[in-house]
Structure 1
Amino acid sequence: MAGRALRDHIEAAILDAAATVLADRGPAVSMAEIAAAAGVARATLYRYFPNREALLEGLLAAASSDLLARIDDAELDTVAVPEALARLTRGFLTAGGKYAALMQPGGKTDKDAELDAQLSEPVRRLLARGVDEGALRSDLPVDLLFDMYTGLLEKALYAILRRTTGLEQAGAAVLTIFLDGARPA
């Protein structure tokens, strides 16, 4: 059991370092630089992740787990729609900042569609509940509300990554713009 715990610890350290280095320096970062940032030998990095694609898939799995845990922890069904959207926004922007490398050119993997499907369902349910409860506009389809909300999130995340705004300011902007534009007239 101790061997597995150590292996998990090393893998998590590599993924954390890779997320940071790739977000800071872009997709051109070498595997050697990632190994150095993680404090492991290149041979160790390659034992865990035999190539860049495997590393990106590991990052995608970590991002997926992190985001899904944040959505679950937000308990969206237990609070009013505006508060649920605030919790969701904070979760997406916080995790998105950590896994920014997946948003950069060369950072995508074939499993993005699976992650998108897992992450979109709770958002769509929340937006549909908002429409049903009268907290959000009913004259716009939920699919359009979803596209507008996620578009704002994406742009806010890019602003955070460019360091033109902070997480709290970006989150407040997303909520204000989305809710004030999505509330019923």
Structure 2
Amino acid sequence: MDQPPTPPARRADSRRSRRAILTAAERLLRDGRPRFTMIELARDAGVTRATLYRHFADREEVLDALAAAIADAVLPALFEALAPLPLEEALTRLAREVVDVGAAHAHVIGGHHRRLGDLAGFVVSDEPFTAFLADRRRRGELTSPLDDRWLARCIRALCLLALDGQEGTGDAAALSSTLRALVCSGLK
């Protein structure tokens, strides 16, 4: 006999549990507990261990989901805000936002099990940067002879350096200047 479909309330409960787990994980990281256990996480999220493990196999999966949730919350709005700006202004805004987001979420970045480059590759593809550059090329703002995909990877790499927390790398002015030098070297 076929199982009846899952009632909508159960799906809503599942979404609430997932949100509670990710919120608790972020809170634990923010409180300086980067090595929290799954038992601590379940307790702090107010869910059973069985519920926690239905959503996430291990702590690393929780951290991946948390990083992806932050990227999903930040990136669409960021690229939407950059779209109407002139290219140089957009790059300056991108630099400022990258540094601000890095500072706001340093607890997640620092508590993560992946290296920063791997984490960014997991949560942010080159696609939004490539689309941003392709749009600028169509508008006639971007005239660099470099391929858009290559430029997108360079932009992403520079933004990652600004997030890594090393001395001097979280400087929005330096990142902005470097991005503009890279991208706008062939600017009309």
TM-score scaled by length of structure 2: 0.63
Distance 1:103 1:85, change over 3 A: farther
The 5-angstrom pairing of residues 11-160 of structure 1 reads 11-19=18-26, 21-22=28-29, 24=32, 26=34, 28-35=35-42, 38-40=44-46, 43=49, 45-46=52-53, 48-71=55-78, 73-74=80-81, 76-95=82-101, 98=105, 99-100=108-109, 101=111, 104-105=114-115, 112=122, 115-117=123-125, 120-131=126-137, 133=139, 135-136=141-142, 138-159=144-165
Aligned pair count reads 172
Stretches of structure 2 that go unaligned for 5 or more consecutive residues are: 1-7
CA offset digits 1:108-145 (Å, max 9, x no partner): 68x92xx444xx22211222344555644513222332
Question: What residue identity is the alignment partner of 1:125?
Answer: A
1:72: Cα distance to partner?
5.1
Which deviates the most, 174-183 or 132-141? 132-141
Distance 1:150 1:5, change over 3 A: same
In 2: Cα distance, 1:87 partner to 1:22 partner = 28
1:54: Cα distance to partner?
4.3
1:157: Cα distance to partner?
0.5
Distance 1:25 1:157, change over 3 A: farther
SS of equivalent to 2:164: helix
Distance 1:73 1:181, change over 3 A: closer
In 2: Cα distance, 1:56 partner to 1:47 partner = 15
In 2: Cα distance, 1:32 partner to 1:94 partner = 32
SS of equivalent to 2:145: coil
Equivalent position of 1:182 in the other structure:
183
Q: In angstroms, what is the RMSD of aligned CA positions?
A: 4.0
1:15: Cα distance to partner?
0.9
SS of equivalent to 1:78: coil
SS of equivalent to 1:104: coil
Identity in percent: 28
Equivalent residues of 1:136, 1:179 under 8 A apart? no
Q: Which structure has the larger Rg over C-alpha atoms?
A: 2
1:83: Cα distance to partner?
2.8
1:175: Cα distance to partner?
1.1
In 2: Cα distance, 1:25 partner to 1:149 partner = 32
Question: What residue identity is the alignment partner of 1:71?
Answer: L
In 2: Cα distance, 1:145 partner to 1:181 partner = 8
1:32: Cα distance to partner?
3.0
